Structures are given as C-alpha cells and as structure tokens.
Structure 1
Amino acid sequence: MDAVAALAVVIALAVDRLWGEPPARAHPVVYMGKALGAVGPALLKWRPVAAFLGGALAWLLGAAGVAAIAWALELGLRALPWWAAGPLLGLLLKPLLAWRMLRDEVRAVEAALAQSLEAGRAQLSRLVSRDTSQLQPHEVREAAIETLAENLNDSVVAPLFWFTVAGLPGAALYRWANTADAMWGYRGRWEWVGKFAARADDALSWLPARLTALLLCLAARRWPAGLAREARVTPSPNGGWPMGAMALLLGVRLSKPGVYALHASGAVPRADHTRAALAWSGQAVAAGAALLAAAGLWLGSRAWG
C-alpha cells in the first residue's frame, strides 16, 4: 500500500458513512451474486464429484475474472495524479465494504424490538437465514449481535485487509469468495457444488477474522480470558473469533439453537448490550482502517526503500 491506497481507504469509508451502498445497478457484489446465481443451479444437477470439480472451476474462473477487472481498473487509475487516483480508487473500493449498512440493519432490529416482538423478528429476517418466527426477544438480540460481529469481519475488516495486501484485486477477490460462500456454501444440497467455495472463503478469512477479534478487544480495552476456547465452539473456523470476542466482552450468551452457544454462562443480552456492541464495532472499523493503512504505508516504504 502507498499514499494513493491509504487515501482510497479514507475516501471509501467516508463515502460509506455519508451515503451507504450504491444502487444495485452499480454494485459489483450484486453482479457477482447474479453470476453465481446463474451458474449454481445448473451444477446442482451434476453427480457429486463432477459438481465439486464444476464448482471449483466456476469459482476459479469467476475469481480470475473479478481480479483481472479490478487489476485493470486500478492500473488505469495509477496513471493519474495521486490526488485524482486516490479518491477514484476509493470510490471503486467502497462497494466492496459495507459498514454503514451493517450498522443500520442491526440498529433497526433493536428499534423494531422496542415496538414489538413480531416487528423485531421481521426485521431480523432481513439479516439472517435462520427461521425467526419462534425467536424470543433475547434470541433476536443474540442473532443480531452475532451477525454484527461476524459481518464486521466479512463486510469490513477482511476487504480492507486484502486491499492492504493486494490492492483492489485483493478486495474484489475476497468479496467474490465471501459471496460465493454465502450463496453456495457446502451444506445440504449445495454440499458438493459449494465445497471449494466454502474452503476458499475459510482460507481468505482466517487472518482477518482473528484481526477483527483483536480490534474488538482493543475497542473494549481488554482481552477476555478463554477467547480461543470459545472460538472453537462454532462450526466455522473463523466466525467464532469475532462472535466469541463479542460474547465475552459483553458478558452475554450468544447462541444459535442446536448449533453452538458462545459464553454459555453469560447474561441474556439487553438493548444496552446491542448499543455497546455497535459502539465497539464502530471503533474497531476506525482502528482497523488506521492500523492497516499504517502497516501498508510502512511495508510500501520498506519495499521501495
């Protein structure tokens, strides 16, 4: 990363804060989803081994295409003066991260719960894939806080991390991997088609997920005992780190019925816990951006020096 890339991070987060998501017709992640949605159903008809190979090949071809487009765009911008290249690169980076939307959706769940349980359940259903129709108020909050913690990594920290490492192609590749995992995964009928996509997402999220947990701990100004143990409770090798950190830092239980319970002896989450989780997450975003930009600038100066 150099000064242009560091400026791009600032611009991307500023645009996100001021305006949020671009319209769907101009959103690259929407087009990634459309491509995956067009290919995936056809692969479901294949036998397991063929479905796995087809899914892996489709993922690799899509990843190559996404990275190539991002590389060409960044290369073109690099020919411009820094004061033009930085803001324009930031505008291209912005759709690959989504802090404001995540924050607003979690806030909306809490606001809806204040109106009624049914409103809270309905609002939560916009965030999670699980059935929300039978959740109790504390379970709605648990799911919202879990989603906040996990997506703090997926939607913000990880794209910034890979932008620091590999520029716009790195951020774009990560978003492709994360979108493919969300749409295909590797369970149920998608097990063979999405197995490669799921493992690729696990690999690309490994370091950022742990960095996200660290950033949350920095925001709360303490490192909770037992975090590594809690992180192993979830089926995901990565999601348990930010979610476990959030559960321990808040002192609450975060669970998905029949799947896992983080900090099982913790308190039932209340509205003030959601507010604290949002505040720490916002601080984590700011600290993470500053830390990654500083690290990128230092590494860039070492490489050129």
Structure 2
Amino acid sequence: MGADRVFAYGAAAGLLGDLLLGDPRRGHPVAAFGRAAGAVEHALWRDHRGWGVLHTAVCVGATVASASLAASAVRRSPAASAALTAAATWAVVGGTSLAREARAVGRALDAGDLAAARARLPHLCGRDPHALDADGIARAVVESVAENTSDAVVGALVWGAAAGVPGLLGFRAVNTLDAMVGHRSPRYRRFGWAAARLDDAAGWPGARLTAALAAVAGPDPRAAVRAWRADAARHPSPNAGPVEASFAGALGVRLGGTLSYGGRVEHRPVLNGPGRAVRSADIERAVRLSRRVGLLALGAGTAGRFAVRRILGKGRTS
C-alpha cells in the first residue's frame, strides 16, 4: 500500500472516529499538549518577542519531532501507518464537538431560553454572551462554526495531506498555541507574537480551501464567492475573513459588525451586507455546511496527494 492510500484510509478512519466518538471527555491529547505548553511557558515567559519565539519553537518543534519519530517507527507497516494516521486525525480534528456545542446553543435559542444560550456560548467562542441578544448569539455561533471549520478540520487535513502525521499534529500544536498565547493581552502582546504569526501562516492554505469548498457545497455559490471577494480583506484576521465571508454568502446571512470580547468592544466590518440577519435556524444550516466542507476537504487532500505523486513520477521518468 502506497503512502497516498495510507493517508486516505487513515484520515478517513480518523474522521469517522470523530463522527462516531467525538472528543474524549478525559485525557484528550490536545489538552495534554496544552498542559505541556503551559509548563514550558512558565519556565520561559518573558515580556519579549525573542522568548516567545523560543517558546513556540520548543512546543511546535517537539511535537513535530515526536510525530516524525512515530511515523518512522511504523513506516514499514502500511496497516500500522494507517492506524497511526487515523489516531492522529481523530486527535486533531474537532468537527463533532464543534457541531455538538453549536447545536446546544441553537436548541436553547429555539426554546427561548436566552440565559441557557448565553451560558453555553463560552464553550464555543470567546465572545461576551451578556452583551448579545438572541440574534447576536446566533450570529456568533455561525461565525464560530465557519472559523473552526477551517481551524479544527480543514487546516489539519491540508497539513496532513502535505506532511502526514507530523503535519496533522504540527498544525494542531500551532493552532492550540495561538489560542493560548496569541491574543493581544498585556501579558502576551510580545510573548505571543510568534505563535500568532505562525498560526496565520499555517492557517492560510486551509482557510482558502475552506472558503472555496463552502462556495462549492453551499446553497448559493455565487453569493459565497462574491462575499469572499468583496469583504474578506476587510476582516482583521487574514484567515477568518475569507472563511466567514464565504459562509455568510453561501448561507445568505450577514455576519460581522459590533462584538465584545471580555468587555472590549470591536467594530468589525459587515460580511455579505446584502444578506439577512442570522436566525437560530441558521445554526443547523451552518453545521451541515461545515460537515460537507470537511468531507470535501478529505477528498481534496487525498486527490492532491495522488496528483502530486503522479506529476513527480512522470518528472522522474521523463
């Protein structure tokens, strides 16, 4: 069995595992990485970019090196390699947990229980729920589903297709580290700079693929492309912009606008201005679109690996 088929079978099994099992309640590998990264931060933290670069290099480098050693150890066994790929894929993707949390907020909104929806929202994103009405909460959920489709599913599959198990685990390490130290708080403005910039770079291809697949899989491809082209660059995040704009156009809704993080108010540009306001029913539509995008990303990553191998093979024989 070739490496391309190993990735295809392993990644498909890992996605199926996520669909059937979701994230483990205890002992999640990403949580273990977070604890280790926190310990490294405790030892290295200084209010300086250079120390942040070192922290990022140690955490991400150790993850990639460990994954490379594990992949090398099972390289001669296709079955073991596929099993390792499946385990790594299951560990790093989070589509089922994303859908579960989004639907929990949606059910609370459908029941008219705004207090329950506000209590549940922090499980999904860092938005201040007390500053939001029902429509604002629904909008926050749809935005989070869109962004996390890229961060928690597609981005990992892109790097897995490109670099196997080290790519899968390395991407999740970068993404997790950014969530821990990459925000602009007084403590992390300098120390977290490297993690934030590396996450922007690592997330770039997955975000564009997510936006493209949302246009393909969504109910309104033209509107998705139009919103992506018109509004994505106005978003403060280079990767969330294309994804959220494409989802907004595909679903026919309006995202962006004023929001609040921990009492700090941000006035973000509106994405897909011609769309309507988000309603609670759009949460389920966004979740289903996210699922389709994730499956298409697996197909795109597998097809890309086969295509590259075929091109390289022709180049060597010509």
* Length-normalised TM-score, structure 1: 0.92
Which amino acid in 2 is paired with 1:196?
A
Q: In the TM superposition, what is the alpha-carbon distance from 1:13 to its structure 2 partner?
A: 0.6
SS across alignment from 2:157? helix
Deviations 1:228-265 (A, max 9, x none): 23112221111011111111222222124223132244
SS across alignment from 2:129? coil
Deviations 1:83-114 (A, max 9, x none): 34313421232101111111111111101112
Which amino acid in 2 is paired with 1:223?
R
Question: Structure 1's 304 and 94: CA in aligned 2 closer, same or farther, altered over 3 A?
Answer: farther
Q: CA contact under 8 A between 2:178 and 2:195: conserved in structure 1?
A: yes
Q: CA contact under 8 A between 2:227 and 2:246: conserved in structure 1?
A: no
Task: Write the distance in 2 (CA, Å) between the matches of 1:252 and 1:92.
Answer: 35
Aligned-pair identity (%): 32
Task: Write the distance in 1 (CA, Å) between the matches of 2:285 and 2:230.
Answer: 23
The residue aligned with 2:218 is 220
Task: Write the distance in 2 (CA, Å) between the matches of 1:75 and 1:88.
Answer: 11
Task: Write the distance in 2 (CA, Å) between the matches of 1:174 and 1:199.
Answer: 13
Q: Following superposition of structure 1 onto structure 2, how do residues 197-276 of structure 1 map, counting pairs within 5 Å? A: 197-220=195-218, 222-224=221-223, 225-255=226-256, 256-257=258-259, 258-260=266-268, 261-276=270-285
Tell which deviates more after alignment, 166-175 or 82-91: 82-91
Q: CA contact under 8 A between 2:4 and 2:306: conserved in structure 1?
A: yes
The residue aligned with 1:133 is 130
The residue aligned with 1:8 is 10
- Residue 171 of structure 2: which of 162, 174, 179 is its match? 174
Task: Write the distance in 2 (CA, Å) between the matches of 1:203 and 1:228.
Answer: 20
Q: CA contact under 8 A between 2:71 and 2:84: conserved in structure 1?
A: no
Q: In the TM superposition, what is the alpha-carbon distance from 1:266 to its structure 2 partner?
A: 2.7
Q: Following superposition of structure 1 onto structure 2, how do residues 87-106 of structure 1 map, counting pairs within 5 Å? A: 87-106=83-102
The residue aligned with 1:287 is 296
Deviations 1:171-199 (A, max 9, x none): 11111111111110141211001001100
Task: Write the distance in 2 (CA, Å) between the matches of 1:91 and 1:254.
Answer: 35
What count of residue pairs does the alignment treat as equivalent?
299
Which amino acid in 2 is paired with 1:271?
S
Which amino acid in 2 is paired with 1:296?
R
Which amino acid in 1 is paired with 2:306?
L
SS across alignment from 2:81? helix
Q: In the TM superposition, what is the alpha-carbon distance from 1:296 to its structure 2 partner?
A: 1.0
Which amino acid in 1 is paired with 2:286?
A
SS across alignment from 1:259? strand
Q: CA contact under 8 A between 1:159 and 1:175: conserved in structure 2?
A: yes
Task: Write the distance in 1 (CA, Å) between the matches of 2:149 and 2:227.
Answer: 21
Structure 1: gaps (5+ residues): none
Q: CA contact under 8 A between 1:40 and 1:193: conserved in structure 2?
A: no
| Aligned-pair Cα RMSD in Å | 1.7
Task: Write the distance in 2 (CA, Å) between the matches of 1:6 and 1:79.
Answer: 17
Deviations 1:191-240 (A, max 9, x none): 00100110000011111101000011110151321412311222111101
SS across alignment from 1:280? helix
Which amino acid in 1 is paired with 2:169?
A
Q: Following superposition of structure 1 onto structure 2, how do residues 23-172 of structure 1 map, counting pairs within 5 Å? A: 23-25=25-27, 27-41=28-42, 46-47=46-47, 51-80=48-77, 82-115=78-111, 116-172=113-169
Which amino acid in 2 is paired with 1:232?
A
Tell which deviates more after alignment, 198-207 or 69-78: 69-78
Q: In the TM superposition, what is the alpha-carbon distance from 1:301 to its structure 2 partner?
A: 3.7
Q: CA contact under 8 A between 2:200 and 2:238: conserved in structure 1?
A: yes
Which amino acid in 2 is paired with 1:15?
G
Structure 2: gaps (5+ residues): 260-265
SS across alignment from 2:222? coil
Task: Write the distance in 2 (CA, Å) between the matches of 1:223 and 1:206.
Answer: 22
Task: Write the distance in 1 (CA, Å) between the matches of 2:272 and 2:307.
Answer: 38
SS across alignment from 2:234? coil
